[in-house]
Structure 1
Amino acid sequence: MQVTAASNTYQLYGPQSRSPAASVSNRFQPSASAETSGELSQEQRQLVEKLKARDREVRAHEQAHLSAAGDLAVSGANYDYVTGPDGQRYASGGDVSIDVSAVAGDPQATLLKADSIRRAALAPANPSAQDQSVAARATAMANKARAELLSLQRSANGGTTIDLSA
């Protein structure tokens, strides 16, 4: 996760690499004979299938972030690509930037926003470690907003303690 203080955004990253397809380099480019004949070896075809599966996984992961983030998304999904032995580009990783700034002077709005950030971070079926870290930070933001709300309520009641037990 990259945090930029100036814009108050986090990047929610795609699923962690779990297959060799995610780390494919250009060394898997088709040979000259494969390019002219259009044929790939069995190993190259298997690799293309792995790349296609990874591409689908990454795109679904980032789309889940975008769908849950709504107006918090400050960009569309950004993808990292690898070129397969068939000459096609496949997504191997990605991220979505979201606004994680508190709502100045409004702890109730900040609480709601923190909940939305947490939902966006945990939206994919398999949140990455970075996604879980963003969710934890959103939980901390929500807790701080709750404390501010409680403090405001206490001030409004002349410092009287409020029983929050159920």
Structure 2
Amino acid sequence: MISATSPFSLNIPGIARYASAGSATSSEKTDSPDAAKSANTSAAEKKPAAAKAASGEFSADELREITTLKNTDSKVRSHEAAHMAAAGGLSHSGASYEYTTGPDGKRYAVGGEVSIDTSSGRTPEETLRKAEQIRGAALAPADPSGQDLQVAAQAAQMAMRARAEIAAESFAQAKAKSADSAYKSAADNFASSNKPRLSVEA
């Protein structure tokens, strides 16, 4: 998921979590009950899982959970990779992930985010280009989350303001050019009408 970093934008954390319902795995960097449970798990309780991982002996439920976690990990990484590819230079820190440990002792990504710069550009034209890139980055994944859609909506508003500024500047320039042209025309007419005329009588 996209996280907007800007002096005026909302700080939008995290992406949609893909963790399976009923998962008994421990999560890292999450607020889930599993995280607290994992913190209290003793080394002795972890040994059987490590032994199972070494021998490859898992129950049917554990095998299903491992498969789900693998699919989740793949989805999360693809999601963030799409954000990164579209964000380009607007993202400076890369993707960050949240992990959970499966019954096999391996860590799987279950969430993540990509932080991008959403500050205005130096000119309305630059701001418009950035806004369009931000919107593209937010909507890049095949399954944009609610947070991604929020960032895309913010980018659309940013683009609208930039277009309004560009239109206002263009109008002011056209008005100034028109006034300058009218002044020059009036000055020419005045000079022409006040030229001395030579009258020759036969």
What TM-score results when the alignment is normalised by the length of structure 2? 0.68
- Alignment check: 8 A CA contact 1:30 1:40 kept: no
Conserved? CA contact 2:99–2:108, under 8 Å: yes
After TM superposition, the structure 1 = structure 2 runs for residues 145-160 of structure 1, keeping only pairs within 5 Å, are: 145-158=162-175
Bigger shift: residues 27-36 or 144-153: 27-36
> How much is the aligned-residue C-alpha RMSD, in angstroms?
3.0
1:59 aligns with 2:60: no
Residue 20 of structure 2 aligns with which residue?
19
Unaligned 5+ segments in structure 2 are 27-33, 39-44, 178-202
Shift in alpha-carbon separation, 1:21–1:80, aligned structure 2, 3 A:
farther
Q: 1:128 is matched with which residue?
A: 145
CA distance 1:122–1:158, shift in 2 (3 Å)? same
State the shift of 1:24 in Å. Answer: 3.8
Aligned residues: 159
* In 2, Cα distance between equivalents of 1:125 and 1:98: 19
Quick check: which one's helix share is greater? 2
1:163 is aligned to none
- 1:79/1:95 contact within 8 Å kept: yes
Q: Matched residue of 2:175: which SS?
A: coil
1:19: how far off?
3.0
Is 2:111 the partner of 1:111? no
Matched, 1:87 2:88: no
Deviation string 1:118-138 (CA, Å, 9 cap, x unpaired) is: 000000000000000000000
Q: What residue identity is the alignment partner of 2:21?
A: P
Q: What percent identity do the matched residue pairs reach?
A: 42
Q: Paired residue for 1:43, among 61, 76, 87?
A: 61
- Residues 93 and 86 (structure 1 numbering): CA distance in 2 closer, same or farther, change over 3 Å? same
Query: Residues 80 and 114 of structure 2 are in contact (CA less than 8 Å); yes or no, is this contact kept in structure 1?
Result: yes
Which segments of 5 or more consecutive residues in structure 1 lack a partner in the other structure? 161-166
What's the counterpart of residue 99 of structure 1? 117
Counterpart secondary structure, 1:75: coil
Letter in structure 1 aligned against 2:106: Q
Equivalent AA in structure 1 for residue 15 of structure 2: G
